[in-house]
Structure 1
Amino acid sequence: MAITLTLIAIVLFSCILADKFSGKFGMPALILFMTIGMLFGCDGFFKIQFDNYDFAEKICTVSLSFIMFYGGFNTKWKTAGNVAGRAICLSTVGVLITAGITGVFCYFVLHLSYAESFLIGAVLSSTDAASVFSILRTKKLNLKNSTAPLLEIESGSNDPVSYLLTMIGIIILNGGKLTNLPYFTFAQIVYGIAIGVIIAGLGIVILTKTSLISDGLDTIFMIALIIFSFGVSTAIDGNAFLTVYLLGIILGNSKIKNKKIMIPFFDGLTSLAQILIFFLLGLLAFPHKFVAIIIPSLFIAIFLTLIARPIAVFSILAPFKCSYRQCLLVSWAGLRGAASIVFSIMVVASGRDVPFDIFHIVFMVALFSVAIQGTLIPYVARKLNMIDDNDDVRKTFNDYQEESAITLMRMYIPKGHNWENKLVSDVNMPTNSLAIMIKRNGDTIIPNGDTKILGGDSVILSVPSYEPSGKENLEEVVIDKNHSWCDKRIQDLDLPENVLIALIKRGDESLIPDGGTYIRRNDVVVTYR
């Protein structure tokens, strides 16, 4: 027991170090997690014999459910909503096209059976957002034309479709009745959506309308909600991955309390899940078998990257009048990752001897995809002139926060203000706030208790940050160059009567606005409704 726990700790330490140094090599840490798994495996240094696909399937399925939940939970719908239509088309019709074309290639070129070809296409039809965004976040690269949120929604929502195709492929491989497929497909989609929406609504009511969940137990409640929704959906033949993804989308974009605490918690939990999946992939792999499957795997990876994926992307995005540069970048960014790995393990664990080595084929395709495509994403994006250096890709996600150690607020003191001609020590300042400087006629004064405040001064206060309880209708609006409020005065905006602009965050300052205040690009406008 002690040796096992020590090995687990060593694995985790190794993966943490791999994640730290991966950015220097310009590739996702996930590929290094695979390598660590192989080093511990039967052909590695530690010679651990592990080939229990049933156990691996259970662990990886649970891990993938948390990854998919967080993919939805961290999606900022206000940023991604304008590209949701084309993203969903990519994640549904695009997956079917990719799977179909890849399956045809495997059947006619690699001479696999119909069922085997179908499964290869199904398992490899989804893309992996974690691999793409680990690169974009590390390099702080934002992509033009809302490409980042497009990839985010597509990659998060195409896994359930790939899972559905994989399950159909397993049924075909195991000689199941094809007459059951229509109902199976109906149940997967309809029950999967219904359970996700119902449980998300129940969760929102409990978190916002009741006091059933004590402070500090919010994250535990969310974990229970994920497991419960996954279990219920599976029990009635719904698509459990679709269920948890919708659960994440709805909860992540609702006004639940302590969301800023939940996001870093699930970010860490998801990182652990990714480490586990890719480490198990490496542990299950037998490198001595690579020689036999490296050529067909390379053919599949090349065909998928240069033919199947581009055909799917251009056929979907061209009607939306997306530029060819955006289509090329979206095509290149379609990396294979965690979901494909888990689905290949499901095939092997399905209870029937698979006549071809799907697991090692998926391993090699994922390895080629992450190592070559992933490493070259920044280069390809720059060559296509698709990088917006004036923005930050992190704003695409719900976990984005302005990088400021303290919150600053500027108070302008007009003539006649009750602070005018008073000493700093004599004024009633907001609780726990501190006057750290005074702007006066272009000069900056560092005040003390004996400093007199004059009319026309701007007093800069440091104030404690505030975490909404979830009952207030507070909303943050990020102003980009295309926003209708950009470079306009508040008094010129056509705001509903029940909406008030309460605060403007500009850089490291928080401004209390009036009607004459101009809203600028990159401002974060806080509205109260």
Structure 2
Amino acid sequence: MFAVSPDVALLVLGLLLLLTVIAGNLSSRFGLPALIGFLGLGMLAGVDGPGAISFSDYALTQNIGIACLIFILFSGGLDTHWKDVRRVAAPALVLATVGVMISAGLTAGASILLLDLPPFQAFLLGAVVASTDAAAVFAILRTSGLDLHGDVPALIEVESGSNDPMAIFLVGAALLFIATPGASPLMLVPDFALQMVLGTLTGLAVGYLLPELLKRSHYRNAGLSFVISISAALIAYGLAELPGGNGFLAAYVAGLVAGNRTYTAKRLVSTFQDGMAWLAQVVMFLTLGLLVAPSNLVDIIAPGLAITVILMFVARPMSVFICLAPFRRFDWRAKLFISWAGLRGAVPIVLATFPMVAGVPGAFTIFNVVFFVVLISSIIQGPSIKWLAARLDIASRTGAEGPRLPDPALPPATGTPD
């Protein structure tokens, strides 16, 4: 193994980041989600591509993914208006919990039949792919120019930002049952409640204190507000995780609370965190692309396609129609669009590293199937979202043309940061 000098390593890293952004931009021009370009560049740079970079550290990938998801969720919370959350809180909560369980169960059943996986491994696969991805959903909805009717966009965004905790809990439960076959599901209920409560309370506290700190400290250097916002996201995650709470939920709630309060540096912090979220996506997808060897996907093409079809056309639609049945303001068109807009992205792939790190039997197959499902569903669903919105007549306009209305939650642009 040859040694690489630090200057060469930094040069290669800089070039990879730049090329990844260019690849994401090119994929967007063809109507594909940017994550396809990010992943594609990573795979080209990987062991099976011309870059020939050998990378197989699943534990490091998991840690990188966790760090990146913190900033993606924090930024997503900053950009979500509280009035939207209040309108869709009930249906979003049902989708983010019961909906995830329904999707996981249906996908698990299909995995037993199609992949011949043992029941717990099949449930693990179902849990990994059950949640929608905040990064993918935020990116598609905020760059597509869609102006959707009613509460549909708010529901999609709030659900995607809040359903990761349930998926993570189900993955942890599956890993527990695999390691301890005699474990009772009832023993997990208090743990789940503790995760949700501690995550929510921590997020509320950090989200309240961030604006207070920026308002009271009178920082004259605007760059320090960026540092404080980074620390807030990391502190929210860490403070929640230490006593057993859900750090991802805490990061999202902290961003949500901070984003709906008023302080002078708000516009700067929001813009900076948006950049941090994009950087996190680039780094995360590039790393995931490096990790996957396309040659490993050949053997799972047929079952991977079958699982993708089940997830896109059976599991996700059934979970949406069942969970939204009590909420009459969402008609069948809205439910169909919400089903189709439940994009998968980096979260399932990051979660798929957990069984790899834990040494679960069949984990390599699960990881490759999850990667294949995310890749194919993104290629199919991402470009067709605008077309489907037009066909269902739930969009006022499609395309990014037209003036962008100012955000009423942000202070005037003439404000001077503290």
The alignment's TM-score, normalised by the length of structure 1, stands at 0.72
Q: From the superposition, tell whether residues 326 and 313 of structure 1 become closer, same or farther in structure 2 (CA, over 3 Å).
A: same
Q: Which residue in 2 is equivalent to 1:344?
A: 352
Q: Is the 8 A contact 2:26 2:37 kept in 1?
A: no
Residues 107-159 of structure 1: per-residue CA shift (max 9 Å, x gap): 24432111111111111111124324433443311111221111111111111
Seen in structure 2, the aligned counterparts of structure 1 residues 136 and 227 have a Cα distance that, compared at 3 Å, is closer
> Deviation string for 1:49-79 (max 9, x for gaps)?
1001111111111011111111111111224
Partner of 1:369: 377
Residues 362-418 of structure 1: CA deviation (Å, up to 9, x unaligned) = 11000011101111111111111111129989979969989xxxxxxxxxxxxxxxx
Report the residue type matching 1:159 in the other structure.
D
Aligned letter for 1:31? I
Residue 104 of structure 1 aligns with which residue?
109
Would the alpha carbon gap of residues 400 and 344 (structure 1) be closer, same or farther in structure 2, given more than 3 Å must change? farther
- 1:40 Cα offset (Å): 0.7
- State the Cα distance separating 1:270 from its structure 2 match: 0.6
- Runs of 5+ unmatched residues, structure 1: 403-463, 471-529
Question: Which whole-Å CA distance do the structure 2 matches of 1:56 and 1:395 have between them?
Answer: 37
Distance 1:49 1:391 in 2: 40
Cα distance between partner residues in 1 of 2:188 and 2:32: 40
Moved more, 386-395 or 188-197: 386-395
> 1:462-473 alignment to 2 at 5 Å?
465-467=413-415
C-alpha distance in structure 2 between counterparts of 1:5 and 1:177, whole Å: 49
Matching of residues 185-204 of structure 1 within 5 Å? 185-204=192-211
Residue 319 of structure 1 aligns to a residue whose secondary structure is coil
The match for 2:58 among 53, 56, 62 is: 53
Secondary structure of the corresponding residue to residue 173 of structure 1: helix
In structure 2, the partner of 1:378 is: 386
**Pairwise CA distance, 1:177:** 6.6
Question: Which residue type is aligned with residue 100 of structure 1?
Answer: G
> What is the alpha-carbon distance in structure 2 between the residues aligned to residue 346 and residue 394 of structure 1?
44
For the pair 1:223 / 2:230, whether they are aligned, the reply is: yes
Partner of 1:62: 67
Partner Cα distance (2:181, 2:406) in 1? 42
| Equivalent residue pairs, number | 408
Of 185, 188, 213, the match for 1:181: 188
- Gaps of at least 5 residues in structure 2 are 1-5
What residue is the counterpart of 2:308 in the other structure?
301
1:232-283 C-alpha deviation (Å, 9 max, x unpaired) = 2221111111111111111111113311001111111110111111111111
Residue 183 of structure 1 and its aligned partner are, at CA, apart by: 3.5
Tell me what 1:235 maps to: 242
Deviation at 1:354, TM superposition (A): 4.0
Rounded Cα–Cα distance in structure 2 between residues aligned with 1:226 and 1:347:
26
1:263 to 265, 270, 273: 270
> Which 4+ runs in 1 deviate beyond 6 A?
390-397, 399-402
Cα distance in structure 2, aligned partners of 1:295 and 1:334: 22
The answer to whether the 8 Å contact 2:267/2:410 transfers is: no
- What is the one-letter code of the residue matched to 2:352? S
State the alpha-carbon separation in 1 of the partners of residues 188 and 56 from structure 2: 31
Preserved contact between residue 72 and residue 134 of structure 2 (Cα < 8 Å): no
Do the aligned partners of residues 137 and 355 (structure 1) sit closer, same or farther apart at CA in structure 2, a change above 3 Å counting? closer
Alpha-carbon offset, residue 7 of structure 1: 1.2
**AA matched with 2:327:** F
Residues 230-239 or 190-199, more deviating: 190-199
Could you tell me which amino acid in structure 1 is paired with residue 252 of structure 2? Answer: Y
Matches within 5 A, 1:80-479: 80-175=85-180, 178-179=183-184, 180-208=187-215, 210-211=216-217, 213-216=219-222, 217-321=224-328, 322-389=330-397, 465-467=413-415
- Scaled by the length of structure 2, the TM-score of the pair is 0.90
Relative to its length, the structure with more strand (as a share) is 1
